[in-house]
Structure 1
């Protein structure tokens, strides 16, 4: 009969416990070889565990700030690019006006109006630029498209312009029957009144607009849904920068005014001096839109300053992260070669234990009788 259950019981129990212990150590060794970190920080570091946790928390905070700064950089660079394109469109308008000069030729006027139409359409598209689903010219209203499409069917912006023009002509004494008979003084009077509304120095009146709109800003009522308050991003513990601009700036208001009045009023059937008044106003206003106070190029300059600040902040954050990561690594990292060697040793021990156990299981007095 076999007597292994009695004579070899203690040996088998010892081997089984040894195998279980080796298996547990193999799990730890394998984890350390893969992650290159201590499997149990509490056991390995002891009193230094809290220090490792503090460093890990600081690294996470820096990574969060770095990600915020990276998003701010993306928004600022997109805004600068769009403003650069708007500036190019302004140059196109200037060129078209200079090329037109005092020409009364219908073809030349049509070409100029086409340039204005294309510029206004492209300007609107650039003003509605979005980054990761957020409109960068909407201020804090990032989920709202900032600019109305002047050429869209039923456009409130187009209707507002027509309302202002028709009301101005009907309020004159005697009333002006059409733009074709407007004099130079009358045209300048209308342009003065409309420009004041675009700039925000004059508010809506009733009539011609509904009483509920009286006193409101013409631009933000009919053209823009942007907020005057820009997006802000925290790029360090103590530094917050504006990471966007908005479509309510003076430069954008003036750009839209210049392109719309030239598009609508540079008609061949108008009085020559009235048409020249439109050209002159377009030329002066588009120049202000590009280079005046709160102009498109001034916005570009401001964004450039913020972009540089964010870039410097990113460099500082990366340097801080590198230092903290090195300090954390000195606490929780293991030698990968030592971990791999230990894992191989455990594998050898386990295989040996399995072999010995198998041989013990085969022991029987019957083999010797």
Structure 2
């Protein structure tokens, strides 16, 4: 039996081969460009589950890293604000140390206390992206209320006037003795305004519970502090004493008592702030360490993922070159076959 093969049949066969080669070339070129297999499922087979697990773990670590950026910003802002409070407190102590009741007027102390209170409240109400860094979990509300012209100031002033009126005989700012002033400054009627329920009612809207943040799959930290910390209360009391119980109407003996007590309170506040700053610094270091550890883990995971789904660049380039040559050859053969004719052999 004799088989007859026409030039048309040969040409059609070559065209089918060319289409197949072109498909293979497109895939190879895509893999060469992306560096990854075009069909991971086909390539990985039973290892596809491992690929998904690695990708999920890497994505989780990347999410922690992204959220840690916001935590780091909040902690940095808090640290800067605490540093401002601490610097202002130290400057006030320096001014009190230099102040002399014999030669300086009480109005200087009053100005010192007033500006100190304003700075304390403004700094305590520092926010980042609408969240107050000293609010604890109540971060949507400004932690400290305005002082001047409010019920808070009235409560402090009334405590003093009530005390003076209750003395026998009643006293005034000009006649109150140093001992009487010392007794008043230590009395619950005044100190309770700066502590516990009095602090929450008169000064602070902050929560004493701080925000906790998950900074890695295995670590949670307190990422905020709050304005109910002792340092804020001590500073507020110290500045308020200077603002309310100095000035030109207080006699010099009582004035010295106020200056001494305010200096003691602000010193205590300074110590408390230093402790709080150390806590925030520790939290910042924890975030940095967590990010560094997760970065190292992600590098390992990405290497493992690459080993599964990255193509061999040399082999892919060779395949592209080979397929291109085969297609060019097929085109040449097709063109040659189309030129063949029986007439050429007659």
TM-score tier, shorter chain, comes to 0.7 to 0.9
Q: Look up the SS of the partner of 1:234 in the other structure.
A: strand
Q: Take 2:69 and 2:313, find their aligned partners in 1: how far apart are those partners?
A: 33
Distance change (3 Å), C-alpha of 1:58 and 1:269: same
Distance change (3 Å), C-alpha of 1:356 and 1:226: farther
Q: Look up the SS of the partner of 1:269 in the other structure.
A: coil
CA displacement, residues 221-245 of structure 1 (integer Å, 9 cap, x when unaligned): 2322211111111123332111111
| Deviation of the 1:285 alpha carbon | 0.6
CA displacement, residues 38-86 of structure 1 (integer Å, 9 cap, x when unaligned): 2211111111111111111111112222334443333323322221221
Match for residue 147 of structure 2 among 129, 145, 150: 150
Task: Find the counterpart in structure 1 of residue 283 from structure 2.
Answer: 306
Match for residue 135 of structure 1 among 132, 135, 148: 132
Q: Take 2:134 and 2:37, find their aligned partners in 1: how far apart are those partners?
A: 49
Task: Find the counterpart in structure 1 of residue 3 from structure 2.
Answer: none
Task: Find the counterpart in structure 1 of residue 156 from structure 2.
Answer: 161
Q: Take 2:108 and 2:151, find their aligned partners in 1: how far apart are those partners?
A: 26
The answer for unaligned runs of 5 or more in structure 1 is 1-6, 201-216
Q: Look up the SS of the partner of 1:81 in the other structure.
A: helix
Q: Take 1:96 and 1:236, find their aligned partners in 2: how far apart are those partners?
A: 46
Q: Take 2:57 and 2:118, find their aligned partners in 1: how far apart are those partners?
A: 48
Answer yes or no: is 1:199 the counterpart of 2:176: no
Q: Take 1:314 and 1:59, find their aligned partners in 2: how far apart are those partners?
A: 13
Task: Find the counterpart in structure 2 of residue 319 from structure 1.
Answer: 296
Task: Find the counterpart in structure 1 of residue 118 from structure 2.
Answer: 121
| Deviation of the 1:355 alpha carbon | 7.0
CA displacement, residues 309-328 of structure 1 (integer Å, 9 cap, x when unaligned): 33332222222222222222
Q: Look up the SS of the partner of 1:235 in the other structure.
A: strand
Match for residue 222 of structure 2 among 242, 263, 270: 242
Aligned-pair RMSD on alpha carbons? 3.2
Aligned length: 338
CA displacement, residues 165-222 of structure 1 (integer Å, 9 cap, x when unaligned): 455455556665x54444434433442232232022xxxxxxxxxxxxxxxx222223
On the 8 A contact 2:114/2:242 being kept in 1, the answer is no
Task: Find the counterpart in structure 1 of residue 236 from structure 2.
Answer: 256
Answer yes or no: is 1:38 the counterpart of 2:34: no
Q: Take 2:24 and 2:235, find their aligned partners in 1: how far apart are those partners?
A: 72
On the 8 A contact 1:104/1:272 being kept in 2, the answer is no
On the 8 A contact 2:156/2:193 being kept in 1, the answer is no
